[in-house]
Structure 1
Amino acid sequence: MKPTPEMIRAARADAPKTRARDLAASLGITEAELCAAFVGAGATRIAAHPDALIPRLAAFGPLMALTRNESCVIEKVGVYDGYRPGPHAALVVHEEIDLRIFPRHWVHGFALEEEGPAGPKRSLQIFDAAGEAVHKIYLRPESDAGAWAPLLADLRLADQGAALDLAPRAAPEAPRAAPERRAELIAGWEALTDTHQFLRLCARLKMNRLGAYRLAGAPYARRLAPGAVERLLAQAAEIAVPIMVFVGNQGMIEIHTGPIKRVVEMGPWINVLDPGFDFHLRTDHIAEVYRVVKNTARGPAHSVEVFDADGGLIAQIFGVLKAGEGAVSAWNALVAGLPEAEGAAVLEGAQ
Structure 2
Amino acid sequence: MNDLTPSRLREIKREANTRPFDLAAQLGLPEAALVEAELGFGTVRIDATPGQLIPLVERLGDVMALIRNRSCVIEKVGTYRNFHDGEHAAMTLDAEIDTRIFPRHWVHAFAVEVTGETGTRRSIQVFDAAGDAVHKIHLRDGSDLDAWVALIDALALPDQQGLSDFATRPAPEGARIADDKVETLRQEWAKMTDTHQFNTLVRRLKMNRLGANRSVGAPHARQLDTSAVPLLLERVRDSGQQVMLFVGNMGCIEIHSGPLVTLKPMGPWLNVMDPRFNLHLRGDHVAEVWLVNKPTKRGPAISVEAFDAAGDLIFQCFGMRPEKGGDADAWAALVGGLPRQEAAA
TM-score of the superposed pair, with normalisation by structure 1: 0.95
Q: Deviations over 1:66-90 (max 9, x none)?
A: 0000000000000101000000000
What's 2:94 paired with? 94
5+ residue gaps, structure 1: 346-351
**Alpha-carbon shift at residue 35 of structure 1 (Å):** 0.4
Alpha carbons of 1:64 and 1:326: their partners in 2 closer, same or farther (altered >3 Å)?
Answer: closer
**Percent same amino acid among aligned pairs?**
53
AA matched with 1:300: P
What's 1:40 paired with? 40
Q: Deviations over 1:271-321 (max 9, x none)?
A: 111011011111111110000000111110110000011111111000011
What's 1:270 paired with? 270
Q: Deviations over 1:182-201 (max 9, x none)?
A: 22111111111111101111
Q: Deviations over 1:204-228 (max 9, x none)?
A: 1111111111101111101001210
What's 2:307 paired with? 307
Alpha carbons of 1:72 and 1:278: their partners in 2 closer, same or farther (altered >3 Å)?
Answer: same
Report if the CA contact (8 A) 1:177-1:207 is conserved: yes
Q: Give SS of 1:263's match.
A: coil
Report if the CA contact (8 A) 2:61-2:79 is conserved: yes
Tell me if 1:116 matches 2:136.
no
What's 1:11 paired with? 12
> 1:228-267 to 2 correspondence within 5 Å?
228-267=228-267
5+ residue gaps, structure 2: none
Distance (whole Å) between structure 1 residues aligned to residue 12 and residue 79 of structure 2: 34
Report if the CA contact (8 A) 1:39-1:162 is conserved: no
AA matched with 2:13: R
Q: Give SS of 1:278's match.
A: strand
Alpha carbons of 1:81 and 1:154: their partners in 2 closer, same or farther (altered >3 Å)?
Answer: same
What's 1:348 paired with? none
Report if the CA contact (8 A) 2:9-2:34 is conserved: yes
What's 2:291 paired with? 291
Distance (whole Å) between structure 2 residues aligned to residue 255 and residue 46 of structure 1: 26
AA matched with 1:134: V
AA matched with 1:256: H
Report if the CA contact (8 A) 1:89-1:103 is conserved: yes
Task: Figure out how many residues of one structure are paired with residues of the other and give that number.
Answer: 344
> 1:328-347 to 2 correspondence within 5 Å?
328-342=328-342
Alpha carbons of 1:33 and 1:162: their partners in 2 closer, same or farther (altered >3 Å)?
Answer: farther
What's 2:321 paired with? 321
Alpha carbons of 1:141 and 1:204: their partners in 2 closer, same or farther (altered >3 Å)?
Answer: same
What's 2:212 paired with? 212
Tell me if 1:202 matches 2:216.
no
Distance (whole Å) between structure 1 residues aligned to residue 128 and residue 208 of structure 2: 22
What's 1:73 paired with? 73
What's 2:60 paired with? 60
Report if the CA contact (8 A) 1:5-1:162 is conserved: no
Structure 1 runs (4+) deviating above 4 angstroms are 323-326
Q: Deviations over 1:46-82 (max 9, x none)?
A: 0001011000012111110000000000000001010
Distance (whole Å) between structure 2 residues aligned to residue 166 and residue 62 of structure 1: 32
Report if the CA contact (8 A) 1:5-1:37 is conserved: yes
